Amino acid sequence: MDKIQINGGRKLAGEVVISGAKNAALPLIAASILVDGTCEFTNVPNLMDIHSIKLLLEDLGARCAFDNHVMTVDGSGIQKIEAEYELVRKMRASILVLGPLVARFGHAKVSLPGGCAIGARPVNMHLAGLEALGAKIGIDHGYIEAKAEKLTGNEIYFDIPTVTGTENLMMAAVLAKGKTVLRNAAREPEIICLADALSRMGAKISGAGTPIITIEGVDRLAPALVTVIPDRIETGTFMVAAAATRGNVLIKGCNPDHIGGIISKLKASGAGVEICGDQIRVRGMEQVKSVDIKTLPYPGFPTDMQAQFMTLMCIADGTSVIHESIFENRFIHANELMRMGADITLSRADIAMVRGVPELQAAPVMASDLRASASLVIAGLMARGTTLISRVYHMDRGYEAIEKKFCALGADMVRIK
C-alpha cells in the first residue's frame, strides 16, 4: 500500500488549479443510466471513485470512455439491473444507481452499502422515498431490490437533508408519472449541478438549491453535454493548507460562491482571503486565531472540511470547539493529530476541544477516511521533520494528483510505493 512522506515546515507559495468535484461528477455519471444515448461530461476529475462508478456502469452494460477529464457514457446497451457487492463495497456512492435503474427499467438490485469509518450512514430515506413513488422495496441477502412498473410522483419529506438521497430521488422522479415534491431537500451545489444536467436532458425540475424541489415527470430524457462544477472541498483543503503553513497561494478555477462558510471561518482565523472572479488568494498569518465551528448541511460549514479545519486549529492561539453534527464518528483523525503533538479532548462523541500548541511534530500516522487523510497531509506540511502517512488510498478516492499539486506549491512530499 502506498504511503506519503512529507518533510514539513515549508510555507506553500504559488498557484494551484482546482479539479472538477467528485461529488458532483458521481451523480451526473449515474444519471446517464436514465438516457438511451451518449452523454458527455467534461471537467471530470481523474480519481479512484470516478473509475469505480465507470466500472459499475460498464458492468451494467453501458459503454464508457474516460480521457483527459472527459467522460462519455452510452447507456443504450444497459441490460443488467444489478449493482454487485464487489463493485458497491468499494464506494458507497454506488447507491446513486438505484433511483435511475428503477426509473428506467422498473427494477433494480443494488448491494446495500456496508458500514463506513465515519458513521453508520443508513440509506433508509432513499428507500422510503422510492416507496413513496410506488416502488416495492425488499432487502434480500444483502441486496436492496426495488420494483415498480411505473413510478408515480408523490410528496416526499426528508427527516434530515440527505445529499445522495435527494439526488437519488430526483433521478427517480424525472421519469415518474406526474409531480413529485421533495421537501427538506439537500441544498448543496452538487444538487444544483445535477438538476441543471437533468434539465439539459429534458427533465422538468424547479427549486434545486432550495429545500423544496419540484419535479414534473417526463416520458424520456435525451443525451446532454454537462460540465462538472469545481470541487469546493478541494478548494477549501488548499485554502486551509495555505493558511496553516503561513503561505501565500492563489487558488484558480474555483467557485467562491460555494464556500461562504469556509471563507468566513478562515477569515475569522486571521488568514487573508481575497476573491477575484474564480480565483482566491489565501495568505496565512504568523498567529492563527482560534475559531469554533459546527458542521451543518449546506450552506452551513461542510463536514467534509471539519478534519482539515481541526488541523489548522491545532496551532491556534486559544481553544476552539469543533462540533460535528452530520456524522457520528468523524473524529478519528483527532487521535492521529494527537500523535503529532496536538492537544485535543473529545469531550463528547460529537464535540472536540482543540487547545492550540505552538507547533505540531512530525510522526508516522494513519489515514482513516478521505478527508481525514487530507487533514494529515496538512498536518505533515505544518510539522517540522518527516511525517509518513499510511493508507493513502483513501486520499486517492477524492484528491486528484494531490502530491503533484502540493509539490508545485513548494511542498516536499513524495509517494512511497
Q: What is the tally of helices (H) and strands (E) in the chain?
A: 14, 24
**Closest CB 407 distance from ligand EPU, rounded Å:** 23
User: In 220-230, which positions are buried (b, 16+ CB within 10 angstroms) versus exposed (e)?
Assistant: ebebbebbbbb
Q: Scanning residues 85 to 104, which ones bind ligand EPU (CB under 6 A)?
A: 93
Active site residue 116: yes
What is d(CA 161, CA 16) in angstroms, rounded to the nearest whole number? 32
Query: Candidates 53-61, 212-220, 300-308, 376-384 — which segment interacts with ligand EPU by CB under 6 A?
Result: 300-308
Q: Is 160 in the site for ligand EPU (CB under 6 A)?
A: yes
**Closest CB 108 distance from ligand EPU, rounded Å:** 16
**Residue listed under C-alpha cell 430515506:** 125
Cβ closest to ligand EPU, residue 125 vs residue 402: 125
Q: Is 163 in the site for ligand EPU (CB under 6 A)?
A: yes
What is d(CA 130, CA 67) in angstroms, rounded to the nearest whole number? 34
Q: Is 145 in the site for ligand EPU (CB under 6 A)?
A: no
Q: Is 327 in the site for ligand EPU (CB under 6 A)?
A: yes
Partners of residue 183 on adjacent β-strands: 157, 212
The single residue among 19, 23, 180, 306 that binds ligand EPU, judged by CB under 6 A, is: 23
The single residue among 398, 400, 402, 411 that binds ligand EPU, judged by CB under 6 A, is: 398
Cβ closest to ligand EPU, residue 123 vs residue 411: 123
**Residue listed under C-alpha cell 496553516:** 244
Q: Is 331 in the site for ligand EPU (CB under 6 A)?
A: no
The single residue among 304, 350, 396, 400 that binds ligand EPU, judged by CB under 6 A, is: 304
Cβ closest to ligand EPU, residue 290 vs residue 295: 295
Q: Is 308 in the site for ligand EPU (CB under 6 A)?
A: no
**Residue listed under C-alpha cell 486549529:** 313
* Annotated catalytic residue, options 39, 64, 116, 254: 116
C-alpha dist (Å) from residue 364 to 8, 140, 183, 293: 13, 42, 46, 27
Interface mask (CB under 6 A) for ligand EPU, residues 350-379, using x and -?
--------------------xx--------
Q: Do the Cβ atoms of 152 and 175 come closer than 8 Å?
A: no
Q: Is 393 in the site for ligand EPU (CB under 6 A)?
A: no
Q: Do the Cβ atoms of 337 and 306 come closer than 8 Å?
A: no
Q: Is 312 in the site for ligand EPU (CB under 6 A)?
A: no
Sign of the Cα pseudo-torsion (291, 295, 301, 304, in order): positive
Cβ closest to ligand EPU, residue 328 vs residue 343: 328
The single residue among 121, 200, 281, 289 that binds ligand EPU, judged by CB under 6 A, is: 121
- Cα torsion through 288, 291, 296, 299, rounded to 10: -70
Q: Do the Cβ atoms of 40 and 228 come closer than 8 Å?
A: no
* Strand, helix or coil for residue 76: helix
Cβ closest to ligand EPU, residue 116 vs residue 407: 116
Partners of residue 368 on adjacent β-strands: none
Q: Closest Cα to residue 35, out of 197, 167, 185?
A: 197
Q: Is 183 in the site for ligand EPU (CB under 6 A)?
A: no
Q: Is 122 in the site for ligand EPU (CB under 6 A)?
A: yes
Cβ closest to ligand EPU, residue 144 vs residue 215: 144
DSSP state of 293: E
Q: Output the CA angle 336-290-253, nearest 5 degrees.
A: 80
Q: Do the Cβ atoms of 327 and 119 come closer than 8 Å?
A: yes
Query: Candidates 155-163, 192-200, 279-287, 305-313 — which segment interacts with ligand EPU by CB under 6 A?
Result: 155-163
Total binding residues toward ligand EPU, as defined by CB under 6 A? 24
- Cell numbers placing 185: 431537500
Active site residues: 116
Residues at the site binding ligand EPU, with contacts judged by CB under 6 A: 23, 26, 93, 119, 121-126, 160, 162-165, 186, 302-304, 326-327, 370-371, 398
